[in-house]
Structure 1
Amino acid sequence: MDYLTHDERDPNPWLALYLDDSIPINSATKRALMRDNSSKSVRYLLPIIEVWSKITMFFIHVFKYFVPRGLNSSRVLHQILAWGLKNFVSPDANLLIFRHFHVGTEILQFIAGNVQGVALAGNPLKPKDFDSIKEDLFLKHDLNLYNFVINLNRQLKEKGLTIRPPEKLDLSMITEDQFDHIVFPNRWTNVLDLRSAIELFTPFYQLFLTANDFVRASNSLQLDETIAIYTSQILGTPAHLGLVNNKHPMVPETTYSAAYRLVLHGLAAETLHEILVKMKLSKQSDGIITPH
């Protein structure tokens, strides 16, 4: 985006948000997100795909009620997702999707590494190509989150511990990856924006997963608040909680809003991760920690 093209009589809203630094976010992510928001796909395809997605999800919901075990195949689902992302999703949207797994993994590793007295064996997910998606990547992402919350709190309760600021903050797992090492396809078919892609893939997610898996995946989005609270207890400050939009996990939302909330989930993870990146860079410049 070129600020020199600014027209005061017709200001570009995405340029305004791109230049604004009030919300902490990785520069490559921000650039990709603003380009994604201003794409023709958002303007012309998203409204149609949203309507199709909701109608399709309704009929799949009815089908699953009568045939709950029908067409359940995570393997087929992830093959469809890998094929769809590679052939129809824009480079910007693919960057945002791939980054999310890396960012989410590092946030969980940060919490696990800074809660004293617990030992958590994680399942890091850092895909490097589309073949990585075929290994049940999206399903494992949701399972990781719930298993992390369960195992963490089980150990805290068994050992009578609470989450508190550690004596020495460990930021060694936080990286500044800009994803310039992955070149995403940019053929004429790679046009779908992030929300259109999610809306398009959500019915397939619902169709090929069990009802429990699909509902759990949808409800996991509201754990953004839970993860943010863990982080605030470690850092000793609640400042970043104001950046969380998916809240109140004990009051689940309908699955029909999952696509939009998934984008908010990605944004929450990116902003929290950027806060940790800036903390690491600040400590490095002060000579408190050495680069990892």
Structure 2
Amino acid sequence: MVNKYENYKHDYNNPNIQLAIYLDNSIPFNKKAKSAFLFDSSRLSNRVLLPFVKVIARAFRFLVIGFKAIFPNLLNMPKFLHWQLYIGQKYFLTPEANYLIMRHFNIGSEILQFISDNVNVKLSSVESIKPKKLNEIKNNVYLNHDLNLFNFIIELNQKLKKEKRKIEKIDLSKINFSSVSLDEFKFEKFPNKITNKIDLATAIEIFSPIFQLYLRNDDHDRAVSSLQFDETIGIYAATILGVPEKLVLVNNRHPMISLSPIKSGFRLLLHGLSTEVLFGLLQDLKKLQKES
């Protein structure tokens, strides 16, 4: 995937917004992922289609909420849901959107493993979810991604409570970064045909009400609540690293106060941003540890 901003020509009379964000290094962020996100956000579908999709998708969301209030578990079709997600990603999403989605699952697994390694707790209920091909999406990847998070938090804290321990700061020289990849993830080439024009933000708005429709209420509630657990995971990592000031980059608020699912599409983008920033921080500190 070509970095669209690395050699972008700057026009002083008409400076490019995406170029300014790309060149800004105030937050740790993988350059390839940052370029993909910014280029994807500047696509025609994001500028023209997204505003209309938001209105239609949120209206449909209210209908789904009403249906689910009456029949909370009538539809429980995770396999069919993931088949739809796979078809959508394969035939309609841009290569950049697919790259960011697949990358998110991989770095999410590595972040959880990093915390587990440095708290010195082995967790039996958490699996490594690191898909490299789009057809792996059909293996309930989205649903299992959320299950992983909650199983991780519950089992981790149960074991810490049993052992009368808590998460503590570790000196940089002793931190275990073995689970954090410095090399780029190698994915199967993503489709780039005439129909692959839907950007990530638009796709999320389309998929969100469909996600709620085909899952049990408990599964959907976990999916929505998991976005607010950014702060929980951020606190764990910041405690280990001794950098509490980095929590300012977490924007989804603590899960004690649950938020409405109506704007979960936007919060899912924030979730992706927070995850990328945390992973970028881990990569930077791993490099610093190697150099020292």
- TM-score between both structures, scaled by the size of structure 2: 0.94
- 8 Å CA contact 1:78, 1:136 repeated in 2: yes
SS of residue matched to 2:63 = helix
Within 1, Cα distance between the matches of 2:160 and 2:280?
A: 27
Structure 1 position 263 matched with structure 2 position 266: no
Structure 1 position 88 matched with structure 2 position 99: no
Structure 1 position 238 matched with structure 2 position 244: yes
- 8 Å CA contact 2:132, 2:186 repeated in 1: no
2:73 to 69, 74, 81: 69
Within 2, Cα distance between the matches of 1:49 and 1:179?
A: 31
Within 1, Cα distance between the matches of 2:187 and 2:201?
A: 24
- Identical residues among aligned pairs (%): 44
SS of residue matched to 2:176 = coil
Alpha-carbon shift at residue 181 of structure 1 (Å): 4.2
In the other structure, the counterpart of 1:58 is: 62
Alpha-carbon shift at residue 7 of structure 1 (Å): 2.3
Alpha-carbon shift at residue 212 of structure 1 (Å): 1.5
Letter of the 1:33 counterpart: F
1:186-212 C-alpha deviation (Å, 9 max, x unpaired): 001001111101111111101100112
Give the 5 Å matches for 1:59-208. Answer: 59-116=63-120, 118-121=121-124, 122-166=126-170, 168-208=174-214
Within 2, Cα distance between the matches of 1:174 and 1:2?
A: 25
In the other structure, the counterpart of 1:209 is: 215
- 8 Å CA contact 1:228, 1:244 repeated in 2: yes
Deviates more, 1:71-80 or 1:60-69: 60-69
Give the 5 Å matches for 1:212-223. Answer: 212-223=218-229
Alpha-carbon shift at residue 30 of structure 1 (Å): 0.5
Letter of the 2:242 counterpart: G
Alpha-carbon shift at residue 97 of structure 1 (Å): 0.4
In the other structure, the counterpart of 1:32 is: 36
Within 1, Cα distance between the matches of 2:185 and 2:238?
A: 27
SS of residue matched to 1:30 = helix
- 8 Å CA contact 2:133, 2:187 repeated in 1: no
Within 2, Cα distance between the matches of 1:150 and 1:120?
A: 10
Unaligned runs of 5+ in 1: 287-292
- TM-score between both structures, scaled by the size of structure 1: 0.94
Within 2, Cα distance between the matches of 1:175 and 1:2?
A: 23
Alpha-carbon shift at residue 274 of structure 1 (Å): 0.8
Number of aligned pairs?
Answer: 285
Within 1, Cα distance between the matches of 2:257 and 2:8?
A: 46
Letter of the 1:22 counterpart: S
Alpha-carbon shift at residue 265 of structure 1 (Å): 0.4
Within 2, Cα distance between the matches of 1:135 and 1:124?
A: 13
Within 2, Cα distance between the matches of 1:31 and 1:204?
A: 29
Letter of the 1:243 counterpart: L
Alpha-carbon shift at residue 177 of structure 1 (Å): 3.7
Alpha-carbon shift at residue 3 of structure 1 (Å): 5.7
Alpha-carbon shift at residue 48 of structure 1 (Å): 1.0
C-alpha RMSD over aligned residues: 1.4
Letter of the 2:248 counterpart: G
